[in-house]
Amino acid sequence: MSTSEPKPESEQSGQPAIDLGTSGTSAATGSVPPVSVKLPAPTAWPFVLAFGLSLIFAGLLTSAAVSTLGVFLATAGAVGWACQVLPFERQETTQAKAEAAPVFTSRPEIARIQTLPEMQRAWLPIEIYPVSAGVKGGLAGSVAMAVLAVVYGLISQGSIWYPINLLASIVYAQPFQLSTRHLDSFHPELLLVATAIHLMTSVLVGLLYGVLLPMVPRRPILLGGLVAPVMWSGLLHSTLGIINPLLNQRIDWMWFVASQIGFGVVAGLVVAHQERVRTRQHMPLAALAGIEAPGIVLEKGSKGEDL
Amino acid sequence: MASDAVTIPSSTRLPQEAEGTWLETLHGWVTTVDHKRLGLMYIGLALVFLLIGGVEATIMRIQLAVPHAHFVSPQVFNRMFTMHGTTMIFFVAMPILFGFANYLVPLMIGARDMAFPRLNAWSFWMAAFGGLLLYFSFIGGDGLYGAGSAPDVGWWAYAPLTSPAFSKGHSTDYWTIALLVSGFGSIGTAINILTTTLSMRCRGMTLGKMPLFAWLNLVMSGMVLIVISPLTAAQIMLMIDRYLGGHFFDTQAGGSATIWMHFFWIFGHPEVYVLVIPAFAFVSEIVPVFSRKAIFGYPVMVAATVGIGFISMSVWAHHMFTIGMTSYGNAFFVATTMAISVPTGIKIFNWLGTMWGGKIRYATPMVFCLGFLFQFLIAGLTGIMLAAAPWDWQLSGSYFVVAHFHYVIVGGILFALFGAFYYWYPKMTGRMLDEVLGKWHFWLFLIGFHLTFDFMHIPGILGMPRRIYTYEPGRGWEGWNMIVTIGVIFQAAAVLLFVANLVRSYFKGAPAGNDPWDAWTLEWSTSSPPPAYNFAVPPEVKSRRPLWDLKHPEDPDWKYE
């Protein structure tokens, strides 16, 4: 987005440009006669009260005499302050003179932000999947991944609980305090944690697929089902040793990649089969961002549609 | 046409009373309840403490410039870092931000004064006396009749270091009562700003038309009310422990040192946002004026600020990852800390969006804001690194953390604050600050800042602990520390230049006029400096930029808001 070169006022609005600086013409209001203004009267009592309170505290560290003086001053300050505002606030009257001081602008010209018809820009997809598509894809992918993980558990450890307990270890450190035999057994709290992690992550990744797939018009399943899982696995493989070395030791990366691909393919297929909806991408960024300015939104009371 | 849009009679300063004696002048300032004078007093107080805190920092950096240095004793070094931290947070940053809020909020919302002018005066004096009490510890730290010593327990004052067994004499007590007293003042000011913005806006200024500066200070004040209370409670508990036999923080007697940490950081981390939100407010006013565009995404900016206010209340224990919290605790505080970067990021994008396509003027206020934008972004990124618990386990208590939060406080808040000085000084004094000196100030400070705080990250990563008195050579720290100290020289020179500019411009600066920046908010419609009553007739507005409406009657904002 860019601004156009400032044009003379008359060219933009059809009205004569105003000369604010040179001719002395200004957009100020008319003069106002002198008025009496009432302001709060100055007073030392807040100072006295603050000083007294400070002395009360200081006396705790120095001498009772200091605190005693503080109590006296604080009491005087509080009473004096109260007398300032009760029964009526004490005020002083000042004469205020208001006059029509000129209000100038050194830049009377207004440049407009160009809107879409005059610009070349990349178009994002004009149709995308609804949020529900991502949720459905994520949940379907989560089932596929869970099946593969359970198969892995049965084959490698003879237990379906092993991968579940491992997954829980992302936020729950207890599995590493257990032996492999314990990791193979059922722990209800780990099942709850693992289920929550699995569902939450799957739905979030499903939503990501819903957003990303429309941007890949060619072979979205290849990207979502193969390329993205392999890249994600590679990233994790290279960093997990630093982030969580204990978990890293227990991961079978072949099965990890297989389960990621399983998730990706199923989630991608489900998302890709959902019905697409039109976006508001045809609207200018300024309108999407809620900028209220001429040329983007219409004036109140005028007829017609906003851009 | 203009009168359709706004009604802003300009005020003319009437001839003031004849100059009195210095005693009468002093009396006038001591008894004043005028929000502008009190704002200036807050700013003046903070500038004095800024110089003191700067000297303390310089002493620390000289001590750490080379290995095995003995520029000061270990005891003095401990006092320096304690006093530096306490001074900069409680007696520089908070008063100076309160000062700007005091001065500007009523002007921006078209009010004649704060809602509670006398409470305003009391709050200022509480802050001032709190600062005096803190520094009185140099004389009375061991009691009136002993040799003095300042607090030396760090600005967090962790238990059990503050227990009588480890902190004899009164130095810790002076730290405690100083924060107690100034804390009461902060609460008073927060109540005042909240009430003023909610109930004293001029006609037509709905919350949706309030300047962002006022909005952000409203959020900041709400946060102060919430976060000062636990700190005050903890200070009272500490006094009870030290003098009345309490055991709140005494682990051996059934108390908990960790409780102090929770109390302190429930205050301490939101406090960072209490300080940075007013800095956001400065930037949100300055960037649009110098980009010649209205702020991008006003409603989102307000929502992001409120979001930051809420989320910041739930991040405190990321300062405590190393105490051994549960995995759930760690995960929660990692998540909330990461989450706060979202509304903060929104703000960064919106400021960039404001500049995008604008006709940018690189005047001194704007260049300081550009420095703020870049440095605050970096500070946010290192903040995200430290928000990850495993990373924090490695770097907690190292100079990396010191570098990170100085990036926030100096690179973010102080840069924005300098921008605010250059922007509003003309309004406060009627004189322009010198632009040439201002640019020198900017570049010197920028160079000094980056020399100091960029390179401070590296010894931190190499394992240099914070608060260390000195170190052995050969650990790879000495070169970096020397560069860090050299940076301080640049910063000190820049600050001295700034102070010289403030003083020189007050007497010899070019006259500012009412509206030197061609700006849009109400404070620029009155004289510079404004009269005691601010506006002869309360103004009426119809949009967020009333002066724009006045200057561009053919294209007023109110047609579209």
Q: Cβ separation of A50 and B185 shorter than 8 Å?
A: yes
Percent of chain A scoring above 90 in pLDDT: 30
B15 assigned to some structural domain: no
pTM listed for this prediction? 0.79
Tens of pLDDT along A124-143?
677 788 889 999 999 999 99
**Strands B10-12 and A32-40: what pairing?**
unpaired
**Contact status of B10 with chain A (Cβ, < 8 Å):** yes
Predicted pLDDT at A224: 77
Q: What is the DSSP letter of A115?
A: -
Looking at residue B14, its pLDDT comes to 45
Quote the distance between the C-alpha of residue B301 and its chain's center.
20
**From the CA of B534, how many Å to the nearest CA of chain A?**
9
Residue B109 CA to residue A198 CA, distance in Å, equals: 51
The answer to the question of residue B107 being in a domain is yes
Task: Identify the pLDDT of residue A259.
Answer: 92
The pLDDT value given to residue B139: 84
**CA B525/CA B528 separation, integer angstroms:** 9
Q: What is the mean pLDDT of residues A265-272?
A: 88
Q: With 50 as the cut, is the pLDDT of residue B295 above it?
A: yes
What confidence score (pLDDT) does residue B486 get? 97
Determine the pLDDT at residue A157.
85
Q: Closest Cα of chain A to B132: distance in Å?
A: 10
Per the structure, the complete domain to which residue B494 belongs is given by 37-525+537-559
Chain A residues whose beta carbon lies within 8 Å of the beta carbon of residue B532: 39, 94
Report the pLDDT value the prediction gives residue A99, as an integer from 0 to 100: 65
- The answer to whether residue A217 scores a pLDDT higher than 70 is no
Question: Best interface-test mutation with B: which of A45, A47, A99 has the largest number of B CBs within 10 A?
Answer: A47
Burial B219-239 (b: 16+ CB within 10 A, else e): bbbbbbebbbebbbebbebbb
| Amino acid A251: pLDDT | 86
Q: In this structure, are residues B533 and A94 in contact, taking their beta carbons and an 8 Å threshold?
A: yes
Q: Rounded CA gap, A291 and A289, in Å?
A: 6
Q: Is residue B20 part of a domain?
A: no
CB contact under 8 A, B10 and A113: no
The model's confidence at residue A182, banded by pLDDT at 50, 70 and 90, is confident
Q: What band does A222 get if pLDDT is binned at 50, 70 and 90?
A: confident
List the single residue in B296, B536, B555 with the smallest CB-CB distance to A98.
B536
Tell me the DSSP string of B374-434. HHHHHHHHHHHHHHSHHHHHHHTTBHHHHHHHHIIIIIIIIHHHHHHHHHHHHHHHSBPPP
Pairwise CB contact (< 8 Å): A45 & B33:
no
Nearest Cα neighbor of A45 from B117, B228, B533 is: B117
Predicted-complex ipTM score: 0.92
Give the mean model confidence (pLDDT) for residues B416-437. Answer: 97
Please give the residue that has the higher pLDDT: either A104 or B544: B544
Q: What is the pLDDT of residue A11?
A: 37
Residue B18 in domain = no
Tokens 């697929």 -> residue:
A209
Chain A residues with beta carbon closer than 8 angstroms to that of B393: none
Q: How confident is the model at residue B10 (pLDDT cuts 50, 70, 90)?
A: low
CA–CA–CA angle B303, B306, B309 (5° rounding)? 150
Share of chain B above pLDDT 70, in %: 95
Locate A252 and state its tokens: 């079978």
Are B122 and A50 within 8 A, CB to CB?
yes
Q: Can you tell me the distance from the alpha carbon of A24 to that of B177, in angstroms, rounded to the nearest whole number? A: 59
Q: Taking each helix axis from N to C terminus, what angle separates B171-199 and B212-243, rounded to the nearest 10 degrees?
A: 150
What is the reported pLDDT for A126? Answer: 73
State residue A27's pLDDT score: 40
The domain spans of chain A are 32-98, 127-278
Helix axes B94-108, B212-243, angle to 10 degrees: 140
Contact indicator for A174, A190 with CB cutoff of 8 Å? yes
Question: Which positions 393-422 of B are in contact with A (Cβ < 8 Å)?
Answer: none
Per DSSP bridges, beta strands A127-128 and A277-278 are antiparallel
Number of A–B residue contacts, CB under 8 Å: 199
Residue B306 has pLDDT above 90, yes or no: yes
Q: Are residues A108 and B533, on separate chains, in Cβ contact within 8 Å?
A: no
d(CA A81, CA A45): 5
- B116 in reach of chain A (CB within 8 A): no
Q: Does B508 have pLDDT greater than 60?
A: yes
Q: Is the pLDDT of residue A286 over 80?
A: no
When pLDDT is averaged across residues B212-220 and rounded to a whole number, the result is: 97
Tell me, what's the pLDDT at A119? 56
Tens digits of residue pLDDT in B312-356 = 999 999 999 999 998 889 999 999 999 999 999 999 999 999 999
Task: Please report residues of A whose CB lies closer than 8 A to that of B518.
Answer: 104-107
Mean pLDDT of A234-253: 84
Which pLDDT tens digit goes with each residue over A66-111? 999 999 999 999 999 999 998 888 999 888 876 666 777 888 888 7
Enumerate the residues of chain B whose CB falls inside 8 A of the CB of residue A97: 11-12, 14, 536
Give the pLDDT mean for B28-50.
96
The end-to-end CA distance of chain B, in Å, is 18
pLDDT mean over B473-486? 95
Query: A154: how many CB neighbours lie within 10 A of its CB?
Result: 13
The proportion of chain B whose per-residue pLDDT surpasses 90, expressed as a percent, equals: 86
Interface of B with A in 46-75 (CB under 8 A): none
Task: Report the alpha-carbon distance of residue B31 to residue B37 in Å, rounded.
Answer: 10
d(CA B184, CA B223): 14
- B537 → closest Cβ in A27, A32, A41: A32
Q: pLDDT band for position A23 (50/70/90)?
A: very low
User: Domain A32-98 is of which CATH architecture?
Assistant: Orthogonal Bundle (1.10)
Q: Residue B430: what pLDDT?
A: 95
Q: Which one has a higher pLDDT value, B197 or A12?
A: B197
Q: Please check whether residue B96 lies inside any domain of the structure.
A: yes
Min mean pLDDT across B338-347, B471-480, B526-535, B551-560 is at B551-560
Check if the beta carbon of residue B180 is closer than 8 Å to that of residue A57.
yes
Q: What angle do CA A52, A57, A63 make, to 5 degrees?
A: 95
pLDDT band at B433 (very low <50, low <70, confident <90, very high): very high
pLDDT at A244 over 80: no
Contact B359 A50 (CB under 8 A): no
- Token couple for B188: 């008073």
Q: What residues of chain B lie within 8 A of the CB of A40, using their CB?
A: 33, 113, 117-118
A260, A262, A265, A267: CA torsion to nearest 10: -80
Chain A residue nearest residue B547, CA to CA: A103
Q: Is a pLDDT exceeding 60 seen at residue A120?
A: no
Which of B164-173, B334-343, B374-383, B500-509 shows the lowest per-residue confidence on average (mean pLDDT)? Answer: B164-173
Q: How many residues does chain B have?
A: 561
Structure tokens at A34: 């002198």
Query: Is 60 exceeded by the pLDDT of residue B205?
Result: yes
For residue B331, the surrounding DSSP H or E stretch is helix B327-339
d(CA B321, nearest CA chain A) in Å: 14
In-domain check, residue B16: no
CB contact under 8 A, B33 and A43: yes
Total tally of structural domains belonging to chain B? 1
From chain B, pick out residues whose CB is under 8 angstroms from the CB of A92. none
User: Residue B22: inside a domain, yes or no?
Assistant: no
DSSP A292: -
For A55, how many CA atoms within 13 A lie in the half-sphere containing its CB? Answer: 19
Report whether pLDDT(A15) > 60.
no
Residue B322 forms contact with A (CB below 8 Å): no
DSSP secondary structure letters along A196-234: HHHHHHHHHHHHHHHHHGGG--S-HHHIIIIIHHHHHHH
Decide if pLDDT at A3 tops 60.
no
CB-based contacts of A112, cutoff 8 Å, min separation 6: A3, A4, A12, A294, A295
User: CA–CA separation, B520 vs B295, rounded Å?
Assistant: 11
Q: Give pLDDT tens digits for B373-403.
A: 999 999 999 999 999 998 999 999 999 999 9
Q: Does residue B415 register a pLDDT over 90?
A: yes
pLDDT for the residue A118: 55
Q: Is B515 exposed, middle or buried (0-12, 13-18, 19+ CB in 10 A)?
A: buried
Q: Which of A45, A96, A110 sits opposite B531 (nearest CB)?
A: A96
Quickly state the pLDDT bin for A65 (edges 50, 70, 90): very high
- The CATH number given to whatever domain includes residue B398 is 1.20.210.10
Scanning B141-253, the segments in alpha helix (DSSP H) are 171-199, 212-243
Model confidence pLDDT, tens digit, residues B104-144: 999 999 999 999 999 999 999 999 999 999 999 988 767 65
Distance from the A81 Cα atom to the nearest Cα atom in chain B, whole angstroms: 8
Per-residue burial over B87-100, b = 16 or more CB atoms within 10 Å of its CB, e = otherwise: bbbbbbbbbbbbbb
